[in-house]
Amino acid sequence: MRLSILWLFLIVAPAVTQQAAAYPIESNQIKVIDGDTITAGGKTIHLLGFIAPEVQSAQCQAERDLGVKASRRMRDLISAGGLDYSPVPCACPTTLLGKWACTLARTCGALKAKGRDVGQILMAEGLAVPFSCEGMQCPKAPKPWCKT
């Protein structure tokens, strides 16, 4: 019995330790990388539930232009304050959580601005699209910004 409890703790604990209640964060503690990625506390954080167009690795000019707008909007939301951040487990096997092999060394999380999820705001404004992972795997990210 004792061994099975220890085994359960070793498997579940890594995922549980990444989850935490939302806590307030000041706008000056956050740097915007792009529309769905920020840095805070020395960590790169991918915000979950949506994906925004890229700026640096854009596949076309339309994606780059929309990526600039999404990044600017994220900066505006953050600078307005009233922020709450929640760490969220990244979608990868628990043995890789927090490691380079898991989402390219990113930490995952959720950010709210004045009680509203920033991803929901960007999606409502046409600056992002929904994107979520199922279980421990992520599908290929949608890239609707470049028409081929």
The pLDDT tens digits for 127-140 are: 999 987 766 566 66
Identity of residue 79: S
Cβ neighbour number for residue 25 with a 10 Å cutoff? 20
Place of tokens 């991918």: 46
The predicted pLDDT at position 34 comes to 93
Average pLDDT over residues 84-97: 72
Domains, in order of start, for the chain: 20-131 (2.40.50.90)
pLDDT one-digit tens code per residue, 98-114: 555 555 555 889 999 99
Identity of residue 124: A
Spatial distance between the Cα atoms of 77 and 111, rounded to a whole number of angstroms: 10
